[in-house]
Every structure is written in C-alpha cells, then in structure tokens.
Structure 1
Amino acid sequence: MADAIMNPTQTKKMPKRLAWGLLIGCVSWMGPYSGMNGTLLPAKIGMLDPINKVKLVATFAAIAMIVAMFANLIEGALSDRTRSKFGKRKPWIIGGTIGSVLMFFVLSWSPTIPILLITWTIYQLTLNAIVAPMVAIIADAIDPKYRGTVSSFYGIGMSIGAYGSGVVASQFLSKVNIGIWVFALVQVVLTVIAMFLIKEPSSADEPKVPLKGSELLASFAFPVKNAGDFYLALLGKFLMMVGSYMITGYQLYILTDYMRLSQSTTSRMVAIISMILMVTAIVFGAVSGPLADKIGRLKMPVALATLMIAIAGLFPFFDAAPWTMLVYAVLSGIGNGAYLAVDQALNIAVLPNPKTAAKDLGVMNLSATLGQIMGPVTAGAVISLAGYRLIFPVMAVICIIGCVMIMCIKKVK
C-alpha cells in the first residue's frame, strides 16, 4: 500500500504508481479542456459568428471565469468534507468526468452562440469538480521530500495535456465536432486508467464537522491566518497564467489575422507549435522537479520559469512572421515545463492549513483557472483597442510582475 493515499508522514518511498496516476489523470482533463479552449471552441465560434468572433471569445472567457471562481472554491471545500468508502477525491473526479463528457457532446451539437455559451458555462462546473480534488491528492499523500518529483509528474501531465491537445485539435479545424468527440473519448479512457492507478482509502470513518456557524464560513472562505506567502504564490500563478493565455487563447487568430496565414498553413503551424511546446515542456519538466528536490529550492525555479515565458512572448511583437511563434514555442515550452514541474510543490509548501488542503488548493487552482480565462479577456480588450501587436509586450509585463510576486515569498527557499 505504499502507493495508497495516506498521511505524508507514513510515506516511506517514492510512490511511483500514484505519480503515474496523477500524470495520466492530469492529461485526462487538461487535454480536452485545452484542445477546446485554445482551438476547437474559437473555431466553432468562428463558424457560428465570424464577424464577432474576437469579442465572443472574450465574452465566453469572462462568463467562464465568474462560474469557475465559485465552482473551484466550493467543490474543493466539499471534497475536503466528503465521506465515502471510495475516499474524498475519487467521487468528485469521476462525477466531474461524467459531466464534462456529457457537456462535450452538447457542445458538438450546439447550433447557436447562446446554446454554446450556456453549455460552456455548465462545463466549467464539471471541470472544476475534477481539478481541485485531483491536486489535493499530492497534499494528502506525498511526503514533502518527494513533492517536487511528484509535482513534476503532474506538471508533465499538464504539459502533455495543454500542448499535445493542440496537435490533436489542429487536425480537426475543418471537422470541429469530430474533434470534440475525440476529446470526450480521450477523457473517459484516461480517467479510467488514472482511477485504477490511484489507490485512495475510505474516508467513511473520518469525523464529520457540522456545516453551521463559523465552521460553515471557514469551510468556504478564503484563508486568512498565516496566508501572506499563500497569496503571493497565488498572485504569481494568476499573472503567469494571464500572460501565457493571452497568446494561447488567441493563437488561432494570431496566425490567421495577425500573421495572415491560410487555413492549411495555420493547421500545420498549430501542430508544430504544439509539438514544440509539448516536447520542451516534458523534457524540462522531467528535469526540474527532481532537481528542485535535490537542491531544496522551489521559489527560484518558479520565478525564473515565469521570466522565461515573459521573454518568449516578446518575439512575435518584433515580427509578424511564423518563425517568431516557433521561437516563442521553444522558450515558452522550456519555461512552462520548469514552472509546472515545481509549481504544485510550491503551492503545497505555502498552504496555511493542511486540514483544508483541497479547499485552499482549490483557491490556488482558481487563480490558475481565472488566469487561463482572464488571459483571452485581456487579449481581446487589447486587440480591440490597439490591434494584435500590443498583446505581446502587455503579456511580458504581466509575467514579469508575476515573477516579482514569487520572489517576495518569505518562508520558502
């Protein structure tokens, strides 16, 4: 039972089975979400309303942000309080997966923008039922000396999901609905494998705290006590995600409207960019987590990775040519790989209270979710005001501020 979820002090060796389960589990939700958010959803919006597509992408992102803000916090808190023979986390992950797959099929059918928007909104509820509980497994089960390495596995899963999905999605730009069905199938298969690998003990016998009075408020409130470093890490993550997703959320339109590429060339470029991002992120993610454990440093790798992403985003500003997006992909892949490998270990290190791990990590993940959503909103506003070129320096400045926030953390080296 070394791979089973337990108190971190009981972990005697590196839980390889659990680490692989988290990697696959992360791909199971991150891949379909990224494939839809970055490529297939903008493509479908462009098909239904090509004139207003830029504003609509920003509108979808803004509404999704509002829903995710509450869903991540509430579902994470409820996961902490779940008592079942299947554990605290698995019921939420499985339920969220079922809901997400159902919403994907409705998305493929949606014939109008309003129906598409309602479905995308409901999908945010199902998605966040997966995210916060899955990350909390690291806090539940992993001894601090292995958290960098296990976080690296999770980060590699995020890289594969975020960037590998672009390779897949790019093949379905002219067959969007089929692409959505493919992602639904991928999510089901990978979730089944992940749930088989992740062994979670029953939580049925754990004490229940009544949801009333101050306990009710504490269960759903943002942490306050000893939370200064927590919020610095949260802001750093949020700003890094906003910057990154300013480009990711509008990548399709950057290639077609800013760089004036044809649909066939755009399809090839999306696949190449995604492949570069994925390979570089996996390589540097695999190295960064174990290295962080070895040198005993978490803050510096995350800060440097954020700075690398800022530098990467400047290249398309200087030249509206495809080669600049390839350079961006290389540098951003390196930065994202290193960032995602160490980020979750840093998040856990700044938790104010281990007893509310999923709720507080839900708040932390909320910053990532909001950043992913706020990125396209910010980019859409910049494009509307000043065109595509200005989004790149704005993105760089946002990431640099995020880097400064990370470096201000005090209790983590």
Structure 2
Amino acid sequence: MTVPETGTTADRFPAAPGTVGRGLLPLLFLGNAAMFALYMGVGSVLLPLQIEHIDPSSKVTNLGIVAGVAAIFATVCNPVAGALSDHSGRRNPWILGGGLAAIAAMALLGSVHTVLLVAIAWCLGQATMNVYQAALTSVVPDRVPRSRRGAASAAVGLGIPVGSAVGVVVASAFSEHLRIGYLVLGLLVAAAAVLFTAGARDVPPPPQEPSPLGSQVRMFLEVLREHDFRWAFIGRACLVLGYFAVTGYQLYILQDHIHLPAGLKPEHAVAILAPLGAVTMAISTVTGGVLSDKFDRRKVFVAAAAVLAAIALVIPVFSPTWPAMLVFAALNGLAFGCFIAVDTALVTMVLPKAEHAARDLGVLNIANAGPQILAPFVASAVVSLIGYTPLFLIGGALAILGALAVAPIRSVR
C-alpha cells in the first residue's frame, strides 16, 4: 500500500518541508546510544555473568529462560506504550518517565541473587525501557519529513554501535562489581532522557476523535494485513532472530567455543569485539543512510546488508578462533549498521496511518522483541543438544530469509 499524501507523517512536521528541527538528530543519536548501552551492556555481559555466578552448571539454560521471559514483557510493553503515547499526543513524558524508571529497575536487578528474582527484575527493566523506546522510536515519523528519513535513521542507527560499545566496555569494567555496572547503565539512560526532553519539543498531534477500545484493538491487529507493512515485519523478524540467537550468547561462545589467546578473559574479549564492531557499524550506518537518501533506494541496501550478515555468521563455523571472531565482528557490524539505518527509513515509509505512528511502530517492534523471545530458547536448545557451530549456521540462514523478505514490498524502491 502506498502511503497517501494527506495525513502522512510529514504533515505533522512543524518546520519547513525538508528541514529538521535544530538539535533533533544529535538528540536522537544520544537517546538511542544510551538505550543500546543498557541493552547490550546488560544482555551481553552483566546478565550472563550474574546468572553464571548464581548457577554455573546451568548457565546456558538459565540465560535462555531469563532472556526469553523478559523479551515477552518487551513484546507486550512496546506496542502498548506506543499506543498510550499516541493517545496522550506526547512523546517526551514517556521518554522521561521510562528513562528515570530505568535507574530503579537497574538498581533492583543488581541487588538480587536468585535466577527467579533476576528474571523478575529484568522483566521490570524491559518494561521501563520499552516505554522509553516506544516513544523515542516514534519521534522520527512524527518530526522528520520523508526526504530526511535516511539521515534521521542514520542518526538513530549510529546510536547502536556507539551505545553498544560504550555499554559493553562499561559492563566489562564492572565485571567484578555487577551492582555498580547496572546502576551506571541506568544512569546513562536517565541522563539521556533528561537531555532529550529538555532539548526537543513535542509536536502536538492533529485532533483525533476518541475511538472505543474494541475498535483500537481491531486497528492494532489489522495493521499486519497491510501488504508492505507485513513484509517489512517479516524481514526484520528474520534478521533480528538470527542476530540475537548468536549475540545473546557471545560471552558463553567465547568461554566455551572459541580458542582465545592465553591471558585473554572472555569478558575482556567482548570488550574488544564490541568497539571493533561499533566502528564498522558506524561507518555503514552513516554511509547506508546517506546513500539510500541520495539514490532514493531502500530495498537493495537492506537486502545487501542481510546477505553480508549471513556471510559473517558462517565465518566462525570454519574457524572457531580469535582472529576469525575479529573478522566476524567487523563484517557483522558493517551488515547490521547498514540494515538498521536503511530498514528504519524503509519501515517509516510503509506505516499505514501517520496518526497511529507509535502504535504501528509498536507492532513492528514486535519484530524486534518477538524474535528475542524465541532466540534465547532456540539458542539454548541448539547449544545444549548439538553445540555452538549449528547456531551460526541457523543465524546465517535467517539473515538470507530477511534479505528475501524485502523483495515483495511495493511502495518503497
């Protein structure tokens, strides 16, 4: 379905066509960088270490359960929070509230000492962070015209490598003081939320007639009937599932599968891989976003990025060594950076209705959170039954499926 000119997200933008409010792109970068610092610092380092300390012999299974259950909360909370911010007509209060609540959630997570309590605390952390994420994600279709979506998406995407690297380095630095590491990451998100809401004004939405709850639920479900939106959903779900099935277990992969040089601890190896991937991801994020704007092409960049991700994921299959992991991190960063930058622009162009942008992006974010539910369970089952090598092969196959899924999209070139 082609998005009609009347009622497009560009119509809500208050400035002159083709312009972006002063400071918005840097603030989008900062807000997303802080968010991914917490996600990656917790998910890649602090949470696996905490679970390993509690029960070393069952770490793979326990991490799968904790991460999977918490992802269920993310899946539910993201579209609900998006719909609530749509209804309120504001994004900033939700960004600020979610950011400040992250401090309390991380403080709780760092203070618990059983697998059950870790699961509960991380669920609360996911809930608060998805309130923050749902509102922040909606800023692009709210305030950025279509002609600048690539640049805005690049700013958003650039926050991923930078934030991920910062989060992993911070978490690794506090690998022996987990409580402090959790609190520092929560404070980063809270600080970013304060700066964003202080520097970026809300854009009042057009007047809307109140609709019954039943009607809202039907609209929420019917968005997946839109042809282009559905294929964008499928493509992202495939790539994210493959990506998180591997990266969610990166610390354990380095502990149990990769032959590391003498004296290099797995948590320190993660802190080396993250900045390397961040550099290549930053390069491809900016390059992919800008070039997709210049050539007015999205699908070819998304497909190429997914294919490159598949190539990267099979490298450790042939060589489970430290040099191979360095190559994997570099190529995977290139692939994922380009994919996120351009795919973010693509999906904002297939939203059915601008006035329900946060709700619809919340549905699309199920393609982010939903695979994260499956990824830990799938990964733990695969690793427990047949080892780490098939995990990389499954990730590569899913990336290829993600590349194929963008082909049927009609309204975006």
Tell me if both proteins adopt one fold, taking TM over 0.5 as the criterion.
yes
Q: Distance in 1 between matches of 2:12 and 2:356?
A: 15
Q: How far off is 1:367 after superposition?
A: 0.9
Q: Deviations over 1:337-371 (max 9, x none)?
A: 11121121101111122121100011111211223
Q: Distance in 2 between matches of 1:251 and 1:12?
A: 41
1:259 and 1:193, CA in 2 relative to 1: closer, same or farther beyond 3 A?
same
Structure 1 contact 8–144 (Cα < 8 Å) conserved: no
Q: Deviations over 1:127-153 (max 9, x none)?
A: 111112111111111111100111110
Instruction: Give the structure 1 partner of residue 41 of structure 2.
Output: 35
Secondary structure of 1:407 counterpart: coil
Q: Could you list the runs of 5+ residues in structure 1 that have no partner in the other structure?
A: none
Q: Deviations over 1:21-72 (max 9, x none)?
A: 1111111222112110111101100011111110011111221232222211
Q: Distance in 2 between matches of 1:12 and 1:235?
A: 30
Q: Match for 2:312: what amino acid?
A: A
Instruction: Give the structure 1 partner of residue 278 of structure 2.
Output: 278
Q: Match for 1:43: what amino acid?
A: L
Structure 1 contact 246–379 (Cα < 8 Å) conserved: yes
Structure 1 contact 305–336 (Cα < 8 Å) conserved: yes
Secondary structure of 1:178 counterpart: helix
Query: What is the 5 A alignment of 1:219-258?
Result: 220-224=220-224, 227-258=226-257
1:56 and 1:411, CA in 2 relative to 1: closer, same or farther beyond 3 A?
same
Instruction: Give the structure 2 partner of residue 26 of structure 1.
Output: 32
Q: Distance in 1 between matches of 2:73 and 2:342?
A: 28
Instruction: Give the structure 2 partner of residue 187 of structure 1.
Output: 189
Q: Could you list the runs of 5+ residues in structure 2 that have no partner in the other structure?
A: 1-9
User: Is 1:82 aligned to 2:98, yes or no?
Assistant: no
User: Is 1:50 aligned to 2:49, yes or no?
Assistant: no
Q: Match for 1:187: what amino acid?
A: V
Superposition CA RMSD, Å: 2.0
Q: Match for 1:331: what amino acid?
A: L
Structure 1 contact 5–199 (Cα < 8 Å) conserved: no
Structure 2 contact 98–132 (Cα < 8 Å) conserved: yes
Q: How far off is 1:306 after superposition?
A: 1.1
Q: How far off is 1:99 after superposition?
A: 1.9
Structure 1 contact 209–215 (Cα < 8 Å) conserved: no
Instruction: Give the structure 1 partner of residue 329 of structure 2.
Output: 329
- Give the length in aligned residue pairs: 403
1:169 and 1:362, CA in 2 relative to 1: closer, same or farther beyond 3 A?
same
Secondary structure of 2:23 counterpart: helix
Of 32-41 and 371-380, deviating more is 371-380
Q: Distance in 2 between matches of 1:254 and 1:337?
A: 22
Q: Distance in 1 between matches of 2:398 and 2:389?
A: 16
Query: What is the 5 A alignment of 1:357-372?
Result: 357-372=357-372
Structure 1 contact 139–348 (Cα < 8 Å) conserved: yes
Q: Match for 2:248: what amino acid?
A: G
Q: How far off is 1:16 after superposition?
A: 4.7
Of 178-187 and 9-18, deviating more is 9-18
Q: Distance in 2 between matches of 1:8 and 1:323?
A: 50
Secondary structure of 1:267 counterpart: helix
Structure 2 contact 110–182 (Cα < 8 Å) conserved: yes
Q: Distance in 1 between matches of 2:231 and 2:15?
A: 27
Structure 2 contact 100–189 (Cα < 8 Å) conserved: no
Secondary structure of 1:255 counterpart: helix
Structure 2 contact 161–337 (Cα < 8 Å) conserved: yes
Q: Distance in 2 between matches of 1:325 and 1:8?
A: 46
Q: Choose the corresponding residue for 1:116, options 103, 118, 127.
A: 118
1:8 and 1:236, CA in 2 relative to 1: closer, same or farther beyond 3 A?
farther
Instruction: Give the structure 2 partner of residue 177 of structure 1.
Output: 179
Instruction: Give the structure 2 partner of residue 297 of structure 1.
Output: 297
